Structure 1
Amino acid sequence: MPEKHPARLPRTLAAGLTLAASVALLLGTASTAAAAEGAAYDSITITAAPLTVAVGDSLTVTASAAGLVDAYAYDLDLAYDPALLTFVADSDVTPAGGFATATDEGGRVSVVATRLGTSPGLTGDQVLVTLTFTAIAPGTADITMSEGRVVDSAGTASAIDAAGLAASVEITADEDTGSASAGTTGNGTGSGTGSVGGDPVNAGGGTGPLATTGADAAPWLIAGGIAAVAIVSGAALMLARRRTR
């Protein structure tokens, strides 16, 4: 099952990141050049739950992929209205067997994720990330994917077609739920991450391709020699992303 990853890179990664920099540059160049080649996925979807919340309530936004082929790293930018929503720091959940970071830039959350050295690339239908937000004002909150890419284990990148990838949530004023504590205040109980309930990553302990390497082992794998592959892939993705902006 997916597990919450560490919020920050351990200090022990600093040396590995420095060591991988030159390789990452080469890999980043190859990824950019190959971005127009065959797609590494069939489709991407953005869902939100629940679809109606009150001010002060939490909601989740999930980015899922269907038909992934050897997805070793990915990079997603999700835009939201900071006047209506705030991102809950360290709430991002990604598949087990990898490492990821989510950076909130005030109106945009940038997610960068990579597999660990011994973990297989993601295949089939997968939940890429689930983020939690808090509603802070009434209105219609749209969460959209502005850009993204998927990188395979060979460093080949496929840009995500982000057009139309969005989810909307209706936020009501908090007084609408103040009168009936037993009824209306529980509007979040039937939602959670219902949109990802059938996904093989979230289904159970041993159903997904990631079950063989849990995130609990991440710090030890990173500290060892295996970490080089993961660090190179993650650094390459971030470098390539910076070049395209």
Structure 2
Amino acid sequence: MGAHNYSYVFDFEDQFNENEFNRYMREHWTDSFIYSAVYLIIIFGGKHFMTKRRRFDLRPYLATWSGGLAIFSIFGAIRTVPEIISAITNHSLEYSICDPSYFEGVTSFWCFLFTVSKVLELGDTLFIVLRKQPLIFLHWFHHITVLVYVWYSYPQKMASGRWFMTMNYTVHSIMYSYYALRALRVNIPKWVNMGITFLQLLQMIMGLLINILAYRVLDQGSYCSHSYTNIRYSVLMYCSYFFLFAHFFYTTYVVQKPKQHVKDQ
């Protein structure tokens, strides 16, 4: 099943019931708004609570948290990158953008984990608040918009999700590894941090290109598992991320000395 013939399939991948999870998401995708509202209340309430209190160090916990997400993202990339390569080489670039076959087989399980992980990743911000680090707009805006968009898109089986998911797993595998090493006080060159932000900018550009290609296929009247409405939301989201990350890169590495860590994509 799917575009790639995996040499080994784990039991938990093989036994995953995509239809059941899809039914759940059709009924509950709007819960993402509730999660986002609770998230905003907690982080800004926590920021106010910490105003006159000493910061927590939390380095061992941050290293464990980031390390766990790094391992998760690495495995996600290992299981999804071969599928997207097979989709292109065995079929075509258009197929990889327009056919949602990644909802079958191994990648259906990792798409499920990718979707629910957007709720788990909200926990990143608690470390920023409790450690009294700068909480920039890019960080929390990105978290809630990605969560809502992914939960909104999953029931529609948008074919471009194959690209968005794989790119996200790949970039996060590097980014969370960096966070874990920093929490362990490993001295990492500045260019690594800059490189991660550059990868995030590249991810936004690729996201925009994928949407443009999907739009062209739809406009030609050909089959493409997309909707014009979803493409508009996705383009708006990726454009906002690109400008926010570009501004972050400029103010952090070009105008002044780095004072902030690269923020989650």
The normalised TM-score by structure 2 is: 0.25
Higher share of residues assigned strand: 1
Higher relative contact order (CA 8 A, sep 6+): 1
